[in-house]
């Protein structure tokens, strides 16, 4: 009986020792860090790899340092020109300071999400609808810069922000289509008017050149006659300028 009692006693000691070791030993992956608190006070950041803690005296909080993809839900935005749109985005960020992410903010994921939503509404509300649709890259950069500045105190680095969808009411889509069509027609008329202006300018220059030399005008007559004569079904009566008589052998000018 004494032997059994001793075995039971040592068994209990062994179990307690194993439990002690299990609570004292932690293994952190390469992308993890442990924020260690000793009797409630921050005493350091450890990891990755094997770390040892004093059971019941020290506690740790695991922090993941990998990039997090956070979907920003659709936000109702009133643009600068009073157009209502629904905008959604995606946010990429990661923890660069595990201590700040644990101590300075209660839940950095929720805090970053809420901050992203308010920043999205604030930035887009300063721009007109055309800018929101056409200048997404610039808006992404503006939102990313603001978020990165404000989350720096939480030990968070915002790497990128991308606006995913901009949903517009059906009536507004039709209005935008009409506006685009009117813009295309305006450009076509401008191009046509510029072409006519250039053609008129060239004709004026040609007329001025030919007016200085009567022979050039006569050659122009002959060139036009040759062009019109290409139509075999036409009978053409073309006046023969008397000035050209001197150029034809055997013909003398009258008078």
pLDDT digits (tens, 9 = 90+) for 150-193: 999 999 999 999 999 998 877 666 766 777 778 788 888 889 88
141: which 2 tokens? 């950069």
Q: Mean pLDDT, to the nearest integer, of 184-205?
A: 84
Paired residues of 160 in beta bridges: 92
Q: What is the pLDDT of residues 96-142, one digit of tens each?
A: 999 999 999 999 999 999 999 999 999 999 999 889 988 999 999 99
pTM above 0.75, yes or no: no
Q: Where are the beta strands (DSSP E) in the chain?
A: 25-28, 32-38, 41-46, 49-52, 58-64, 68-78, 84-95, 156-168
Q: Please give the mean pLDDT across all residues of the chain.
A: 82
Mean pLDDT computed over 75-94: 92
Domains of the chain by range and CATH?
Answer: 2-64 (no CATH), 68-168 (3.30.479.30), 213-249 (no CATH)
Q: How far apart are CA 175 and CA 8, in angstroms?
A: 85
Q: Is the pLDDT of residue 251 over 50?
A: no
Q: Is the pLDDT of residue 68 over 80?
A: yes
Q: What percent of the chain has a predicted confidence (pLDDT) above 70?
A: 73
Find all residues with CB under 8 Å of 125, minimum gap 6, and list them.
77, 78, 79, 80
- Helix/strand number for the chain, H first, E second: 7, 8
Q: Name the strand (E) or helix (H) holding 126.
A: none
Q: Which residues pair with 51 in a beta bridge?
A: 26
How far is it between the farthest Cα atoms of the chain?
A: 162
């Amino acid at each position: 009986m004494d032997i059994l009692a001793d075995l039971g006693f040592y068994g209990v000691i062994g179990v307690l020792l194993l439990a002690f070791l299990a609570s004292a030993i932690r293994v952190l992956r390469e992308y993890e860090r442990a924020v260690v608190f000793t009797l409630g006070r921050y005493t350091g950041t450890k990891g990755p790899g094997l770390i040892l803690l004093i059971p019941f005296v020290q506690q740790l909080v695991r922090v993941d340092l990998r990039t997090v993809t956070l979907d920003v839900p659709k936000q109702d935005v009133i643009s600068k020109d009073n157009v209502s749109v629904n905008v959604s985005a995606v946010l990429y960020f990661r923890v660069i300071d595990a201590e700040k992410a644990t101590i300075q903010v209660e839940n950095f994921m929720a805090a970053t999400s809420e901050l992203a939503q308010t920043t999205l509404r604030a930035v887009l509300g300063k721009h007109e609808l055309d800018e929101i649709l056409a200048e997404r890259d610039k808006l992404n950069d503006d939102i990313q810069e603001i978020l990165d500045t404000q989350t720096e105190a939480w030990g968070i680095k915002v790497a990128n922000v991308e606006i995913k969808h901009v949903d517009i009411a059906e009536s507004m889509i039709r209005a935008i289509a009409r506006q685009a069509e009117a813009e295309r027609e305006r450009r076509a008329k401008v191009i046509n008017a510029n072409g006519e202006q250039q053609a008129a300018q060239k004709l004026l220059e040609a007329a001025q050149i030919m007016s200085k030399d009567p022979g050039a005008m006569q050659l122009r007559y002959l060139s036009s006659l040759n062009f019109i004569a290409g139509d075999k079904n036409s009978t053409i009566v073309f006046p023969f300028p008397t000035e050209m008589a001197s150029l034809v052998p055997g013909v003398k000018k009258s008078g």
